[in-house]
Structure 1
Amino acid sequence: MSERSVASIIIEQLEKAGVQHCYGVVGDTLNYITDEMSRSNIKWLHVRHEEVAGFAAGAEALMTDRLTACAGSCGPGGLHFINGLFESHRNRAPVILLASQISSELLGNDFPQEVDFLSVYQSCSVFCEQILTADQAPAVIRRACQAALNQRGVAVVVVPVDISKAKTHAVTQTIWQPQPQLIPNPHELQTIAALLNKGKRVAIYAGAGCEGAHDDLVALADQIKAPIVNTSRGKDFIEYDNPYSVGMTGIFGCEAGFEAIKQCDVLLLLGADFAWSQFYPDNATIIQIDHQATHLGRRHPIAFGAVGRVSDTLSALLPLVDTKSNDQFFQQIAKVRDKSVNRRHKEEQRATGHPIHPQYLVSLLNQHAAKDAFFTADGGSAMVWLLRHIDSLGTRRTLASLLHGTMANAMPQAIGLQVAFPERQVIALCGDGGLSMLLGDLFTLVQEALPVKLVVINNGSLNFVELEQKVEGLLDH
């Protein structure tokens, strides 16, 4: 095998891993990598701020389930990614960052633009390593790709500029992404079924881990006559075509979702990791099924926990669960749900005078947007209106900063979605504060001719913060 540059190895390895797009800002320490990328099938997308690259790559990766790259120069360039990558990592999006670095012989000397990226990115990555020699480049990149894809998160590879241009006889390696079935053992399934059978007022709290399990979830609810409460991140996978759906709980939720969980005697948590413990029931038997053992009981004490992918587990659980005829508890919660829906519809009516109410504005978007549209929303009140007034339909997708809670994510994430899905409508619901924070990347929309629809809510304030201040009786600052 003839000698090749490490930059060439990196790009070929990324292509093998399925990378189609790389978002970033060029710089001298990145030049050898971007030069190789220009001759590859990976499209480079130049943004105005690296934080936007982190958001955009994460949105594309999350919605395509495909490894997506971002890359930047040494020092400040590499640091600017961090908030966008924190968002992507907490969303469990498979992203790889190529953080180029000053020449390796200069490291440790407080050289201009020297940053210890390994320390910086440890807390928001599933893999974080530096390529130390040319020969180890294929293995490091392969491990990074496999970690991002299989552990679902951000992988960071630090590449000193002298290493990127160094030559090696090493060859690229196969990227492995197995798809194992993950299901509780038979005894655990029997225990779960027995607890569900014993309950008189069973409720289901379903999260994003229910992706791909919609039909079995509705079938289980029908079998045990249980209202289904969904987390905000589970909205897209649960609320559509679902007569047992009663909405969300928590500060974004509604009375029906709150009451279903508070009044149940058995609560089945499915792929849900809702953080606010005060919204869990006080005296119910709680069963939790999650694909990560570390999630079991971490938000609230539980009676029984099992590891399993929800889509795999429900099909095995359904035959073990009794069919119940008493639907009194569900009907009780359904009446509360219907009142909540009527109240929402009243909020969505056009009001006289100005300003236009956001509920009415977002209800119009809901009516007129494409049936398979993507919606993003900035952190703050914009994501409240998105979650409450946009119907997912089973064909739409919504994305907001529900775990990291950042501002300024809506437009950058819309960029990534429109790049990945050029044929679909992408609508970004922006707060005026969020949009202004990364306003420079409006030029990226123009540069790439991306038909993203930006809807800006003119709050004249950081609206959600203002509401929080008023609730606490504090002055508006």
Structure 2
Amino acid sequence: MAQTVAEILVDQMVEAGIRKVYGIVGDSANPIVDALRRHTAEIEFVHVRNEEAGAFAAGADAQISGRPTAVLGSSGPGSLHLVNGLYDCQRNGAPVFAIATHIPSTEIGSGYFQETNPEQIFSGCTNYVALLSNPGQMPRISELALQAAILERGVGMVIVPGDVAAQTVDNPMLAHPILTDRPVIRPTEAALDRAVELISKAKKIAIHGGEGTRQARDEVLALSRTLQAPVSYAYRGKDVLEAENPNGVGMTGLLGWGGASQALADCDLLLMLGTDFPYHAFLPAGKTIIQVDDKPLHLGRRAAVDLGLVGDVGETLRALIPKLEARSDDHFLRKTVKHHHSMVEGIQTYANHEGHGQGLRPEMVATALSDLAADDAVFTVDTGMCNVWGARYLTMKPGRRILASFSHGSMANALPQALGAKSGSPDRQVVALCGDGGLSMLMGELLTAAGLGIDVKLMVFNNSTLGMVRAEMMVVGYQPWGTDVQNPDFGAVAQAIGLHGERVERAADIRPAIERAFAHPGPALIDFVTDPRALAVPPHTTVEEVRGFALTTGKLIFGGDFAEVWGQAKSNIRDVGQAL
């Protein structure tokens, strides 16, 4: 029996393992929505309040569940809302199948109502995008889009005019099963031997790992033991390489902490494993660098690499380690780990102390969340200062995960990512660290959580300012301006919507409020009123950054805003002392 384009699309999604479609219905999507309606036993439609949130949620679902997910946007404005979330999916390597429906095929190019140019618009945030202008293209085009999403870890998209979606496919073109098995790649023996040669000449070796180590944790730790090498990690490697790792020395980068910065600075050979860490200023110059990545374009684009190995990290290390001679000299490792522990003590300054600023210390809130959350909790973290508190104060255990807008750096990601993570893995606790600015952008998704009963725990760091932007202004010498925001009582807003909601202003109330939220059988939001002046000092501070901060302070004093300077000093005197 002949099927419509929409029916084939839904059948293919089910075949590919997709169990959730996030989005909003619309007239151009009606044939696809009707096909989904007839397949509710196999695939669920999750109705969000903004397509952008749907894309964030789909990406989080895919990353946590390990299955591909889908997102749907209707013609024109509906699909345009997908763009930001799909950029995040693409850059996070989340396998997402996106369907953007379009105006009637006979009207394309006429300036019709809601007409856009979706192929051009989505070209930058997809592995594959194609317009289905004729039913005869099916199922080949959708097969290619699904395989691009799954095999290339990113977004595969089809653009479907509403009239085409309703048409019958009489002669299916090149129909075949969806290919979902990703290849395993490893370097040549000659390349591995060259790596052994470089490693054998080095005395002080450090390892820096990222997302690409996710399926290779045991191999990375074995390599560390073999080479007596400290292990640092990018943010995306934190939930892989931090837990139960005696050789771990923390993160580097703007959000970094611990001994990672010294490990990279003092080593004479650096092994970069599965990381596309973007901040080359935090990577060492003048060192021998070996980089392993399964994406050739990642090799050498962040640092001057002496040897690039194209391969899966786990497969590469399983081939490499037997070729290496185990080392007994652990002086560099012990020195670096000792320094790491002293640095960790330093950043705990405010984790258990109230401080003297205006509002709660965010470090206390993040530490309490880490202490009270489940051992296999999923944390989603908003871009901005919440990223700092998550990076430094959420302690990883073997079952825990962290999701954020790691490479895209979008605000407003934590709430919708929490919805997707919980939908994809309903048995796990999901905790979102939301900035007040980020939450405000997509606050309508509180209605999604309440309406669908998605049991997410939303922890709002309400400092009434765009904190990261404020700090970035000060560090280069600008006076903070345009960063203050006026917020409601987010706890009361949550209650009005139907969530469990509270507002916390005293340090003594932090842990009891979190415990109540975690015990509540449904979505909950806690509004923590935090100190807007709380700073996070990077792992190493440049003379230029100190000069910029001093310049800002001087401008504030001479501008008559001594109260601001005094408040900043009271809030961060211990951090500033550590940096200096």
* TM-score w.r.t. length of structure 2: 0.81
Q: Is the 8 A contact 1:52 1:84 kept in 2?
A: yes
Q: Is the 8 A contact 2:64 2:425 kept in 1?
A: no
Aligned residue number for residue 139 of structure 1? 140
**CA deviation vs aligned residue, 1:324-382 (integer Å, no higher than 9, x gap):** 11111111111210101211333311316651101110100011001111100110000
SS in 1 for 2:479: coil
1:416 to 405, 417, 420: 420
Task: Give, in whole Å, the separation in 1 of the partners of 2:158 and 2:309.
Answer: 34
Aligned residue number for residue 112 of structure 2? 111
> After the TM superposition, which residues 62-461 of structure 1 pair with which residues of structure 2 at under 5 Å, given as runs?
62-171=63-172, 173-351=176-354, 355-461=359-465
Aligned residue number for residue 7 of structure 1? 6
Task: Give, in whole Å, the separation in 2 of the partners of 1:476 and 1:284.
Answer: 38
Aligned residue number for residue 467 of structure 2? 463
Task: Give, in whole Å, the separation in 1 of the partners of 2:244 and 2:89.
Answer: 29
**CA deviation vs aligned residue, 1:96-125 (integer Å, no higher than 9, x gap):** 111011110000111110111000000010
Aligned residue number for residue 25 of structure 2? 26
Aligned residue number for residue 49 of structure 2? 48
Of 64-73 and 113-122, deviating more is 64-73
Task: Give, in whole Å, the separation in 2 of the partners of 1:85 and 1:352.
Answer: 40
Of 390-399 and 251-260, deviating more is 251-260
Q: Is the 8 A contact 2:382 2:412 kept in 1?
A: yes
Q: Following TM superposition, by how much is the alpha carbon of 1:434 offset from its aligned partner in structure 2, in angstroms?
A: 0.4
SS in 2 for 1:110: coil
Q: Is the 8 A contact 2:355 2:361 kept in 1?
A: no
Q: Is the 8 A contact 1:138 1:170 kept in 2?
A: no
Q: Which amino acid in structure 2 is aligned with residue 24 of structure 1?
A: G
Q: Is the 8 A contact 1:65 1:93 kept in 2?
A: no
Q: Which amino acid in structure 1 is aligned with residue 203 of structure 2?
A: K
Task: Give, in whole Å, the separation in 2 of the partners of 1:4 and 1:402.
Answer: 41
SS in 2 for 1:283: coil
Task: Give, in whole Å, the separation in 2 of the partners of 1:253 and 1:116.
Answer: 41
Task: Give, in whole Å, the separation in 1 of the partners of 2:476 and 2:298.
Answer: 32
Q: Which amino acid in structure 2 is aligned with residue 44 of structure 1?
A: F
Q: Is the 8 A contact 2:258 2:341 kept in 1?
A: no
Q: Which amino acid in structure 1 is aligned with residue 324 of structure 2?
A: V
Q: Is the 8 A contact 2:257 2:344 kept in 1?
A: no
Task: Give, in whole Å, the separation in 2 of the partners of 1:182 and 1:124.
Answer: 25
Task: Give, in whole Å, the separation in 1 of the partners of 2:120 and 2:288.
Answer: 42
Of 109-118 and 164-173, deviating more is 164-173
Q: Is the 8 A contact 2:352 2:364 kept in 1?
A: yes
Q: Which amino acid in structure 2 is aligned with residue 441 of structure 1?
A: E
The 1:308–1:15 alpha-carbon spacing in structure 2 relative to 1, beyond 3 Å, is same
Specify every segment of 5 or more residues in structure 1 that has no aligned partner in the other structure, as ranges.
none
Q: Which amino acid in structure 2 is aligned with residue 230 of structure 1?
A: Y
Q: Following TM superposition, by how much is the alpha carbon of 1:188 offset from its aligned partner in structure 2, in angstroms?
A: 0.9
Aligned residue number for residue 479 of structure 2? 475
Q: How many residues align?
A: 476
Q: Is the 8 A contact 2:362 2:389 kept in 1?
A: yes
Task: Give, in whole Å, the separation in 2 of the partners of 1:162 and 1:144.
Answer: 20
Q: Is the 8 A contact 1:207 1:233 kept in 2?
A: yes
Q: Following TM superposition, by how much is the alpha carbon of 1:135 offset from its aligned partner in structure 2, in angstroms?
A: 2.0
**CA deviation vs aligned residue, 1:188-244 (integer Å, no higher than 9, x gap):** 111111211110111111111111211121111111111111111111111111111
Task: Give, in whole Å, the separation in 2 of the partners of 1:218 and 1:164.
Answer: 50
SS in 1 for 2:259: helix
Of 175-184 and 64-73, deviating more is 175-184
SS in 2 for 1:247: strand
SS in 2 for 1:215: helix
Task: Give, in whole Å, the separation in 2 of the partners of 1:472 and 1:255.
Answer: 24
Q: Is the 8 A contact 1:411 1:430 kept in 2?
A: yes
Task: Give, in whole Å, the separation in 2 of the partners of 1:170 and 1:374.
Answer: 45
Q: Which amino acid in structure 1 is aligned with residue 253 of structure 2?
A: G
Task: Give, in whole Å, the separation in 1 of the partners of 2:435 and 2:95.
Answer: 27
Question: Taking every aligned residue pair, what percent have the same amino acid on both sides?
Answer: 39
Q: Is the 8 A contact 2:130 2:141 kept in 1?
A: yes
Of 397-406 and 324-333, deviating more is 324-333
Q: Is the 8 A contact 1:230 1:248 kept in 2?
A: yes
Of 430-439 and 172-181, deviating more is 172-181
Q: Following TM superposition, by how much is the alpha carbon of 1:438 offset from its aligned partner in structure 2, in angstroms?
A: 0.6
Q: Following TM superposition, by how much is the alpha carbon of 1:255 offset from its aligned partner in structure 2, in angstroms?
A: 5.0
Q: Following TM superposition, by how much is the alpha carbon of 1:301 offset from its aligned partner in structure 2, in angstroms?
A: 1.0
**CA deviation vs aligned residue, 1:405-425 (integer Å, no higher than 9, x gap):** 000000000000111111111
Q: Is the 8 A contact 2:230 2:247 kept in 1?
A: yes
Task: Give, in whole Å, the separation in 2 of the partners of 1:265 and 1:76.
Answer: 53
* TM-score w.r.t. length of structure 1: 0.98
Q: Following TM superposition, by how much is the alpha carbon of 1:87 offset from its aligned partner in structure 2, in angstroms?
A: 0.5
The 1:194–1:106 alpha-carbon spacing in structure 2 relative to 1, beyond 3 Å, is same
Aligned residue number for residue 567 of structure 2? none
Q: Is the 8 A contact 2:362 2:461 kept in 1?
A: yes
Task: Give, in whole Å, the separation in 1 of the partners of 2:182 and 2:147.
Answer: 13
Q: Following TM superposition, by how much is the alpha carbon of 1:68 offset from its aligned partner in structure 2, in angstroms?
A: 0.6
Q: Which amino acid in structure 1 is aligned with residue 27 of structure 2?
A: D
Q: Is the 8 A contact 2:249 2:258 kept in 1?
A: no
Q: Which amino acid in structure 1 is aligned with residue 78 of structure 2?
A: G
Q: Following TM superposition, by how much is the alpha carbon of 1:468 offset from its aligned partner in structure 2, in angstroms?
A: 0.8
Q: Which amino acid in structure 1 is aligned with residue 28 of structure 2?
A: T
Specify every segment of 5 or more residues in structure 2 that has no aligned partner in the other structure, as ranges.
482-580
Q: Is the 8 A contact 2:380 2:431 kept in 1?
A: yes
SS in 2 for 1:475: coil
Task: Give, in whole Å, the separation in 1 of the partners of 2:345 and 2:258.
Answer: 12
Task: Give, in whole Å, the separation in 2 of the partners of 1:428 and 1:254.
Answer: 21
Structure 1 residue runs of 4 or more that deviate by more than 2 Å after TM superposition:
169-173, 178-181, 344-347
Aligned residue number for residue 550 of structure 2? none
